[in-house]
Structure 1
Amino acid sequence: MAIRRGDTILFERPPVIAAWAAVGGKKESEGPLAEGFDLLIQDAAFPEEGCANWEQAESLLQQKAVEACLRKARVSPKAVDLALAGDLQAQCTASNYTMRALGIPFAGVYGACSTMAETLCLAAALTAGGMARQTLALTSSHFCAAERQFRTPLDYGAKRTPTAQWTATAAGACLLRGSGQQGVPVLSATFGRVQDYAVRDINNMGAAMMPAAASTLLRYFAATGTSPADFDAVFTGDLGEVGSALLCEQMEREGVPLPNHRDCGCLLYDGKTQDVQAGGSGPGCSAAVLGSHILPRLQAGAYRRVLFVATGALMSQTTFLQGESIPGVAHCVELGGENGI
């Protein structure tokens, strides 16, 4: 059973993340979290695998993450009841082709950069409700594929602004099982509401997504009666340096300061030595940090309770060219130490 409080679902018998994996590319291999990855690929075009383009390479990146995750869980794809996956490519094609290869029952999810948290929320609810025994949550992004779709092809050589962020070439996968089994418990899931503060700058995603992160956090704290002090850390997905600073300012104004705030977009890369402007972004950014940093620390007992709040900008390559503002959404997953450690 689960209890609904506002926008938050509290799991009386929490499902667990039984296994996880993070896969990245060359840029990620040079970052501070490199040691936590299951696989790091120096040529993200996968030429040795026969990939003809960046889009195919991203799908293969996802497949590598799923393979590593299921290998750690010691199960085959046939044992997975449902996969929830999405990405940034039009119509979630990277995920579609991944599932074509794996043959797992599949529901596509699009939350832009919030997709990892959204798939975790949905997978936890389905697993806790007994509608699936083993559920896969998965997402990815690829720098070259995303630049071609949302900005300009790399060959164009466009100059990046200081507020721009670097789309991670990374994928993350989590396998969820029912309560009482070994793993990191998912204590609650909060589905966000779309927020739009009229940001129109395609190169300032942190500012566009920040209001959604603040909205979801405020609703979560109000619904559960908790405060940031109850958590070892509050992780946002990929606000980057600009969005993170704005979030802390906004939460301070709301009377809910976030001294333990961490942003995956700031953790994945070294902003001083890697040319990533305001930090990392993309669905693969938060997914990779979850798998390489957050979940291992929860498993080891270094963290006892954290919030994972992935944020997404919900525009398309068409809407921003039409001058539309950029709406955002943020979904929140509350995670505990492995089996209550």
Structure 2
Amino acid sequence: MKSKRIGKMTVKLENKPTIISTGSVVGPKEGEGPLNQYFDLVLTDDLYGQKTWELAESKMVETAMKKAVNKAGKKLTDVNYLFAGDLINQLFPASFAARELEIPFFGIYGACSTMSEGISLASMIVDGGFADLALAGTSSHYCTAERQFRFPLELGNQKPMTAQWTVTGAGSVLIASEGNGPKVKYITTGKVIDKGIDDGNNMGAAMAPAAIDTIYSYFEDTKDDPNSFDLIATGDLGVVGKKITEDLLKERGIDISNVYVDCGIEMFDLEKQDVHCGGSGCGCSATVFAGYIYDKLVKNEFKKVMLVSTGALLSPTSTLQKQTIPCIAHAVVIVNN
């Protein structure tokens, strides 16, 4: 069998799995940010009419999935597989959404790297001929994440300036074996990297080494030119992590500064909205990609994009046991030809 592998960590997809549509839902604070025009739905109530924050997040991801399917003129019954996950309690929001969608379901966990992980797996299953249509998506919610990983909101705890604001949002992509739209061309699957950071309020510094390793590995494997990209977007490194990533890649001979953005910085107006170092959460890169980046790809304003969703694989248990934070980043390269 002809190998699709290039180098150590990258694969090249030959059958052109196509992102034919996306869906995106964000909360009120995200709707006040600079990208508000690109989202399908901006909530006026971040409980979304539900009794709990977790059920609100589940309804958000269900809505984002349905929007992607409807926008493509498809039915839920046309979709062969669903790849979804989130941060909360055994994938509570994704699993409950999958219960309503009734699509064969792979629950995945990559923390905030889940969007790129889902796109990777859905694209490979379509490229391999195992599906004609696959959905991938993820979500996060400020209130669910704060309660699980930090402190209940009622306590009003102050955060250090290295902290970030978990995005309330859900994003999804519908990937097809045939159709019009941007194509997933390369996938670089990351390794778990842990450089000893144990501060849950400095996730950018913890995740940056994983982003560096994955981005560097892509360019080593493919010999591609960073300046051939219109955009290289990390998931949610924020101000601190973005600076670390850019500087340390330069030291290794890879200069992405002309095309590099971070979704956590793009989501909010850092001067006007009090989010400290920027946005974070699974929904951060999911909604920025499904909204802003995908829109630019469809309009041919971007021809070649790398999305590098970044994830911190800690848990409340590992934090209480004084463990450091293992992290991962997955890259997908999406093109218009």
What TM-score comes out, normalization by structure 1 length? Answer: 0.97
**CA distance in structure 1 between the aligned counterparts of 2:24 and 2:335, rounded to whole angstroms:** 20
Read off the aligned partner of 2:194 and give its amino acid letter. Answer: D
SS in 1 for 2:124: helix
Residue range with higher mean Cα deviation, 5-14 or 321-330: 5-14
**CA distance in structure 1 between the aligned counterparts of 2:139 and 2:64, rounded to whole angstroms:** 9
Q: What's the offset of the Cα at 1:227? A: 2.5
Q: What's the offset of the Cα at 1:255? A: 1.3
Read off the aligned partner of 1:33 and give its amino acid letter. Answer: L
Q: What's the offset of the Cα at 1:199? A: 0.2
Q: Would you say the 8 A contact 1:2–1:11 is kept in 2?
A: no
**CA distance in structure 2 between the aligned counterparts of 1:2 and 1:32, rounded to whole angstroms:** 43
Question: What is residue 182 of structure 1 aligned with on the other side?
Answer: 180
Q: What's the offset of the Cα at 1:13? A: 2.0
Read off the aligned partner of 2:202 and give its amino acid letter. Answer: N
**CA distance in structure 2 between the aligned counterparts of 1:130 and 1:75, rounded to whole angstroms:** 19
**CA distance in structure 1 between the aligned counterparts of 2:14 and 2:88, rounded to whole angstroms:** 36
**Unaligned stretches of 5+ residues in structure 1:** none
**CA distance in structure 2 between the aligned counterparts of 1:64 and 1:2, rounded to whole angstroms:** 38
Question: What is residue 192 of structure 2 aligned with on the other side?
Answer: 194
**CA distance in structure 1 between the aligned counterparts of 2:67 and 2:16, rounded to whole angstroms:** 24
**Unaligned stretches of 5+ residues in structure 2:** none
Could you say if the C-alpha distance between residues 153 and 131 of structure 1 is closer, same or farther in structure 2, counting changes exceeding 3 Å? same
Q: Does 1:255 align with 2:257?
A: no
**CA distance in structure 2 between the aligned counterparts of 1:38 and 1:46, rounded to whole angstroms:** 15
Question: What is residue 41 of structure 2 aligned with on the other side?
Answer: 39
Read off the aligned partner of 2:122 and give its amino acid letter. Answer: A
Q: What's the offset of the Cα at 1:2? A: 6.1
Deviations 1:18-58 (A, max 9, x none): 110111010111000000000000101122xxx21100000
Deviations 1:178-200 (A, max 9, x none): 1x521110011111000000000
What TM-score comes out, normalization by structure 2 length? Answer: 0.98
Read off the aligned partner of 2:148 and give its amino acid letter. Answer: Q
Question: What is residue 3 of structure 1 aligned with on the other side?
Answer: 4
SS in 2 for 1:176: strand
SS in 2 for 1:211: helix
Read off the aligned partner of 2:26 and give its amino acid letter. Answer: G
**CA distance in structure 1 between the aligned counterparts of 2:106 and 2:14, rounded to whole angstroms:** 25
Report the identity percentage: 42
Q: Does 1:82 align with 2:81?
A: yes
Could you say if the C-alpha distance between residues 84 and 2 of structure 1 is closer, same or farther in structure 2, counting changes exceeding 3 Å? farther
- What's the RMSD between the two structures over aligned residues? 0.9
Question: What is residue 30 of structure 1 aligned with on the other side?
Answer: 32
Read off the aligned partner of 1:265 and give its amino acid letter. Answer: G
**CA distance in structure 2 between the aligned counterparts of 1:213 and 1:137, rounded to whole angstroms:** 21
